[in-house]
Structure 1
């Protein structure tokens, strides 16, 4: 039976990954749920010098290799194992390392533009949008980019003012209208997480029959 595909979209640092991880943790003993992060499909920039890589607008849909993402999701849906790319946020390009991903019962696709892209939407059985206030998202983004991605505070602020805020308004916020469920505050919304895990449990049970 074809895997169920759940899409989780939302603004930068809205809590998409937290939602996906909490769902994954609920099924840790089953190996039935797999997460694919759209961030790992940023375009390879190894051919560019660092000074050019940092100029890329990473908050625009064109920054992603969506065709490759669609191809690999298609392989998983057909029951094939894939070799998924891993993105290196420190060096602003695709890592030489990859990750082997096997077929599963439930595939969670999370990322900024999961609901913005029509071809991705067409693959989704359940569409979620994590809706978090802009000030909270900004604070989370600063903390994440400085601590985990080796960015300076000034660079994070400049990027937010130049691209992140406008791209959110232009592409991400409008995609909310495609969501089946809107989850305020991301992973902290235990009620939404419980409802989602209950739904996934019923799907896994049904597929086993």
Structure 2
């Protein structure tokens, strides 16, 4: 039975984690079967709270995530079993109630801001990547995403960034770079950085 390789990708909010994950899957590992999980879909539901109350939650803290379910799904995928991945609705701050099937594959890529910080997730990884993106670039990308894709207003996005996103990045996310096997300096169009990690990832997988 072929060994399953788990790659986790961490970095600040809007740092380009999903972009890099997609490039790895589509360009670097074209000859492997690859499945991609996002920790964004594993936020707890908080069904007892109103939408207004959810607006004030700290979604950048580990307590906001269903870590047990993430680890269970990683273990199932590593054991060759498909999983039903939940779908989170950022417009309502709630689980949609729907799932999508994530197929067991040769390579599993999990991205999330806290994926390197949380030990239970980190210890399941074969390759650990951190995307390092300048703070101003991350803020601009997050601002555009939250306004145009998640129906947030400018005041809320700025307030949330200052109240929780920035301090949690400094406290949890940024220090987790020390656990990374590969650090990628990322900016729009930086194909060189992705190309550089391609050889490293390929060699690590081929050794297994």
> Do the two structures share a fold, i.e. TM-score over 0.5?
yes
- Provide the C-alpha distance between the structure 1 equivalents of 2:176 and 2:205, rounded to a whole number of angstroms: 28
**Mapping of residues 31-46 of structure 1, within 5 Å:** 32-46=33-47
State how far apart, in whole Å, the 2-side matches of 1:31 and 1:101 are. 15
Distance verdict in 2 for CA 1:201–1:127, change over 3 Å: closer
Match of 2:81 in 1: 80
Contact 1:59/1:164 (CA < 8 Å) preserved in 2?
yes
Bigger mean CA offset, 189-198 vs 128-137: 189-198
Comparing 47-56 with 160-169, which one deviates more in the overlay?
A: 47-56
Within-5 A mapping of 1:159-178:
159-178=160-179
Question: 1:49 offset after TM fit, Å?
Answer: 1.7
Paired residues of 2:186 and 2:193 also in contact (CA < 8 A)? no
Name the SS for the 1:188 alignment partner. coil
Q: What are the superposed Cα offsets for residues 71-114 of structure 1, whole Å, 9 maximum, x if unpaired? A: 11110000001000111000001112111011101111100001
When residues 126 and 186 of structure 1 are mapped into structure 2, their CA distance, relative to the original with a 3 A threshold, is: farther
Q: How does 1:145-184 map to 2 (within 5 A)?
A: 145-184=146-185
Shift of 1:27: 6.2
Note closer, same or farther for the CA distance 1:6–1:61 as it changes in structure 2 (3 Å cut). Answer: same
Q: 3-state DSSP class of the match of 1:87?
A: strand
Moved more, 83-92 or 188-197: 188-197
Which residue is equivalent to 1:135?
136
Which sits farther off after the overlay, 49-58 or 166-175?
49-58
Q: CA deviation at 1:40?
A: 0.5
Go from structure 1 to structure 2 and tell me whether the alpha carbon gap of 1:206 and 1:168 turns closer, same or farther (over 3 Å shift).
closer
Over 3 Å counting, the alpha-carbon distance change for 1:114 and 1:103 in structure 2 is same
Aligned equivalent of 1:55: 56
1:8 aligns with 2:15: no
Aligned length: 207
Unaligned runs of 5+ in 2: none
In the superposition, the TM-score normalised over structure 1's length comes to 0.91
Tell me which residue corresponds to 2:190.
189
- How many Å apart are 1:204 and its aligned residue? 6.8
Instruction: Tell me how large the CA RMSD over aligned residues is.
Output: 1.9
User: Against the structure 1 CA distance between its residues 128 and 166, is the aligned structure 2 distance closer, same or farther, given a 3 Å change threshold?
Assistant: same
Question: How high is the TM-score relative to the length of structure 2?
Answer: 0.92
Q: Distance in 2 between matches of 1:80 and 1:199?
A: 28
- Unpaired runs of 5+ residues, structure 1, are none
Contact map agreement 1:14 1:131 (CA 8 A) in 2 = yes
